[in-house]
Chains A and B, each alone.
Chain A
């Protein structure tokens, strides 16, 4: 790599040729504030907050897009730069609501932080024309408030470049410019999968998850209701970030304790139903493999992904596993099996789930998700919302004791916990499928070929005499490429795992912000740590799952399992 020498703030540094001033500065530990810049998106140079003085340039330059050159002298901290930055923020604030105190993004807002960092005390341009827009709360997952939009374009870029959906674009021009889906429709009428990556990268409160915490408080405070909660695998390794605990910390026990103190009657684990998913999906795969079923079979636990295939590739729906996602299996089992066992009228059960995902909110509202005779899952909150509830209740999270999940829907194996990362569902399925096929215990349950962060990975796994060709895909842009390959017949896999979000659920649209590849890596490591620390690491060894099949459900893919745990898909027209 060719390096160039430059001076930033009097400090001699080297940076790779082609690097931007911003990258060079950050590499040397020099902070330049940014807003439209995001480390994982193509820089756009839209907000001008990162302006610096660079030798050879006539004006201040946007450091996020300006390349370094040999002998360049850069100053990031002169009066001229500071004044210009402040002016940029003042101009943004002149056309921005001043309701920070009651904004859902308060505390996590990058604009708020920058205004504070730069010491903006008065806005010289206040009182000018203000944009007025209606709020889009048309769908179960995301809320868009255009008045809070600063036109940084991060949502446009993540949706187009990472997710390949291009729901948003800049529309109109000048002061009227807005970010909008085609024809300025609501998200419910756009080809939106509700994956929430736009909310995850939005620096302000312009795109946020739909807040359902009031529904949860109402259920908890209703004495006639029995309120159950399930927690998705990826929540336990990210929730800490909401509560001042470093990224990558495993907070399972404290989370369970916190949920009890919030007032939930029973604290259960989605890991239980992830194991159940593996039982059904694994057997479905074997059935397809041995009976000439539609292959490749593709996983169906990521609702953003399911929305995408229903919206864009309905002709490929027969490839999707009919197994419901762990969230929905949990709901169906809780309001039938558990209700029976505990002697509770399912009408009085409120099923709450804590998910790393905004699309899960929409999944729970799907019409067909009422196998129990009731809404299987009543309320879905994201990791961020649970963090807010814990803060609202004033719990001292860091000092809570470690508590265990309730039974009989609270046991989960190591196979279940890795559902939260890309490759995890595949690895969990292989552990069970291999033992079912071989009829004997596996010596080693770690499938390292399946792990990794490349957006598309493939491997050939020997299961007994059979060579199973598998692929693992994450992000919707990569998923589309895979679907195109299935269409043109060049994807000769048996089994494919797809997760909508980068890194899988650890990078889900409902997870704490900010998120980047390093934070995702730490969350992922934590999940593998949970797996390693588990006594049981194969779904079919879960004693509560065994009991469920033995005493109530019968066989995997059996009649009862079929009606409760499997579903169907249909093309979505919008």
Chain B
């Protein structure tokens, strides 16, 4: 179903999401070079960029959808799939690598049942890798949301994950 076809469940009016997307588009109307800020604001609305919403943005801005897709896939800050409530970033930088970062990642993949770059079905966790978070002294290290967890060993991981709903 496209964004324009979705209706609000209460009164059948235009769905509130569309109203919000329209407000974002109105803010940038007629301004060249606004695609990235539009996408950023739309993403903050949904936490990711749904396909039908991108198609709606393309239609309204008259920017070809292929070009929008090109921009979305170029920048790692844009996401085409729903994101988990908690973002786990496992460091795979040099220091973490020599201190077993790979084993931490593998254990997390097993614990969460997903591969890096994916999200659990219940949307509780999204697992990502990063090249360095600047905390090499704590290697191997991971971040969950804004919390940094260092000196990790595989057996510590389940207890840490449990703290995040």
Contacts and interface: CB of A to CB of B under 8 A. Distances in A.
A180 B73 CA distance: 11
Interface residues on A, range: 10 to 19
A216 B70 CA distance: 39
Contacts of A169: 64, 66-67, 69-70
Contacts of A170: 70, 74
A168 B66 contact: yes
A310 B83 CA distance: 37
Find the residue from A180, A181, A182 having the highest chain B CB count within 10 A: A182
Contacts of A167: 66
Contacts of B74: 170-173
A182 B66 contact: yes
A166 B63 CA distance: 9
Contacts of B65: 182
Contacts of A184: 69
Interface string B102-122: 000000000000000000000
Interface string B52-70: 0000000000001111111
A180 B64 contact: no
Nearest to A160: B64
Contacts of B70: 169-171
Main secondary structure of the interface of B (DSSP, over half): helix
A156 to B, nearest CB: 8
A175 interface: no
Interface size range of chain B in the complex: 10 to 19
B69 A166 contact: no
A182 B68 contact: yes
Interface string A517-536: 00000000000000000000
B53 to A, nearest CB: 13
Contacts of A180: 66, 69
A35 B42 CA distance: 38
Most chain A CB inside 10 Å of its own CB: which residue of B51, B68, B74: B74
A190 B64 CA distance: 11
A181 B69 CA distance: 8
Interface string A13-41: 00000000000000000000000000000
B59 to A, nearest CB: 11
A168 B65 CA distance: 9
B66 A166 contact: yes
A240 to B, nearest CB: 36
B66 A181 contact: yes
Interface of B: 51, 64-70, 73-74
Given A169-B66, A172-B73, 5 more contacts: A168-B66, A169-B64, A180-B69, A183-B51, A190-B66
Interface of A: 160, 166-173, 180-184, 190
29 contacts: A160-B64, A166-B64, A166-B67, A167-B66, A169-B64, A169-B66, A169-B67, A169-B69, A169-B70, A170-B70, A170-B74, A171-B70, A171-B73, A171-B74, A172-B73, A172-B74, A173-B73, A173-B74, A180-B66, A180-B69, A181-B66, A182-B64, A182-B65, A182-B66, A182-B69, A183-B51, A183-B69, A184-B69, A190-B66
* Complex A-B, nearest 3 residue pairs according to Cβ-Cβ distance, in ascending order: A166-B64, A169-B70, A169-B66
